[in-house]
């Protein structure tokens, strides 16, 4: 595999002038997308357009067809390493051209979250400030070493949203702060069962519970008071109301408290708007 196997094809900006990768505020969103349909894929459209509405960001959307989950998931999972390393090289290049690394925020969904971890630890021009993992892919990664997956050492701050833990998502905490909406497992409210859709003959996508993570995140961009979460030792303690003495609370998603550490729990609605706050 070489750089021709994936392209960085989509650039959106709300900053004055034509889109540019040399400005200070950049968000690199990692999700395997069709290079001809980047604006039509739900995770890209929902999160990127919300950030576009907020304004003040350049969004670099990564097309990584080698990370499509089907039909050969093992191959796609293994490719997170080389794609992550190439993405790190892109970041190093952008930094050399004037991009401020401290302003960079990596957002990855599923295999993209694991790739973001590899990317973060592979950047040579400095330390990535923030990585957000949206239901990091679970199958195979549990037994793989930290160098091949997302963990808290990959950036100064790693926040993770779990929504399908133990099925398509990673089963345990991996970030500085891990959010477990509705216990972080399937089925999420509004989802009846694990659902898989074949988007083309060569790709399958896990839907509903697994994708709730990006839907929560997209909504959080424009709701700076939403998704209030409580730190607690377990979901059961959360249900029993034994966590309210633990502080501080934090918003899940884009407006997370950078001082938050450990596991946080919350409930959500079954449909948008998902935040109950």
In this predicted model, what pLDDT tens digit does every residue of 212-222 receive, in sequence order?
999 999 999 99
pLDDT of residue 266: 97
How far apart are the C-alpha atoms of 264 and 179, rounded to whole Å?
Answer: 5
How far apart are the C-alpha atoms of 204 and 151, rounded to whole Å?
Answer: 26
Q: Which long-range contacts (CB under 8 A, 24 or more apart) does 247-253 make?
A: 250/177, 251/220, 251/224, 251/225, 251/226, 251/227, 252/161, 252/179, 252/181, 252/216, 252/220, 252/227, 252/228, 253/161, 253/179, 253/216, 253/217, 253/219, 253/220, 253/221, 253/226, 253/227
Q: Is the pLDDT of residue 35 over 60?
A: no
pLDDT band of residue 69 (cuts 50, 70, 90) is low
Q: Which of 210, 220, 229, 250 is catalytic?
A: 210
What six digits make up the tokens of 200? 């083309």
Q: What is the mean pLDDT of residues 21-32?
A: 56
pLDDT band of residue 3 (cuts 50, 70, 90) is very low
Q: Which of 13, 46, 135, 229 is catalytic?
A: 135
For 3-266, CATH number?
A: 3.40.50.1820
How far apart are the C-alpha atoms of 263 and 258, rounded to whole Å?
Answer: 13
Is 36 a known active-site residue? no
How far apart are the C-alpha atoms of 212 and 197, rounded to whole Å?
Answer: 15
* φ/ψ (deg, to 5) at 159: -115, 140
Q: Is the pLDDT of residue 23 over 90?
A: no
- Beta bridge partners of residue 195, listed in sequence order: 207
Is 210 a known active-site residue? yes
Number of neighbours of residue 95 by Cβ within 10 angstroms? 17
Decide if 108 contacts 150 (C-beta within 8 A).
yes
**Closest to 257 in 3D by CA, of 157, 166, 180, 163:** 157
Q: pLDDT exceeding 90 applies to what percent of the chain?
A: 59
Q: Which of 13, 46, 110, 250 is catalytic?
A: 110
Number of neighbours of residue 204 by Cβ within 10 angstroms? 16
Is 250 a known active-site residue? no
Q: Is the pLDDT of residue 16 over 70?
A: no
pLDDT of residue 137: 96
Domain definitions of the chain by residue range: 3-266
What six digits make up the tokens of 189? 């409210």
Of the ranges 36-50, 89-103, 135-149, which one carries the lowest mean pLDDT score? Answer: 36-50
Does residue 180 or residue 195 have the better pLDDT? 180
Q: What is the mean pLDDT of residues 247-262?
A: 93
pLDDT of residue 7: 42
How far apart are the C-alpha atoms of 265 and 267, rounded to whole Å?
Answer: 7
């Amino acid at each position: 595999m070489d750089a021709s196997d994936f392209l960085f094809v989509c650039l959106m900006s709300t900053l004055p002038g034509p889109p540019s990768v040399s400005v200070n505020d950049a968000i690199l969103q990692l999700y395997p997308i069709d290079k001809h349909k980047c604006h039509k894929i739900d995770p890209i459209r929902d999160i990127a357009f919300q950030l576009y509405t907020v304004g003040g960001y350049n969004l670099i959307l990564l097309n990584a067809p080698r990370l499509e989950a089907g039909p050969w998931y093992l191959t796609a999972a293994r490719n997170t390493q080389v794609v992550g390393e190439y993405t790190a090289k892109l970041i190093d290049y952008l930094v050399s051209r004037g991009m401020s690394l401290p302003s960079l925020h990596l957002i990855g969904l599923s295999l993209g979250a694991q790739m973001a971890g590899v990317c973060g630890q592979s950047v040579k021009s400095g330390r990535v400030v923030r990585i957000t993992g949206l239901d990091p892919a679970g199958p195979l990664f549990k037994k793989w070493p930290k160098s091949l997956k997302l963990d808290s050492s990959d950036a100064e701050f790693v926040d993770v949203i779990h929504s399908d833990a133990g099925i398509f998502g990673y089963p345990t905490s991996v970030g500085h702060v891990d959010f477990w909406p509705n216990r972080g497992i399937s089925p999420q409210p509004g989802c009846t069962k694990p659902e898989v859709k074949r988007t083309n003959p060569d790709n399958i996508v896990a839907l509903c519970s697994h994708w709730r993570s990006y839907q929560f995140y997209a909504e959080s961009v424009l709701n700076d008071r939403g998704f209030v979460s409580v730190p607690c030792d377990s979901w059961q303690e959360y249900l029993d109301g034994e966590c309210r003495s633990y502080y501080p609370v934090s918003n899940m998603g884009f407006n997370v408290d950078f001082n938050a550490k450990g596991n946080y729990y919350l409930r959500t609605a079954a449909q948008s708007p998902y935040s109950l706050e």
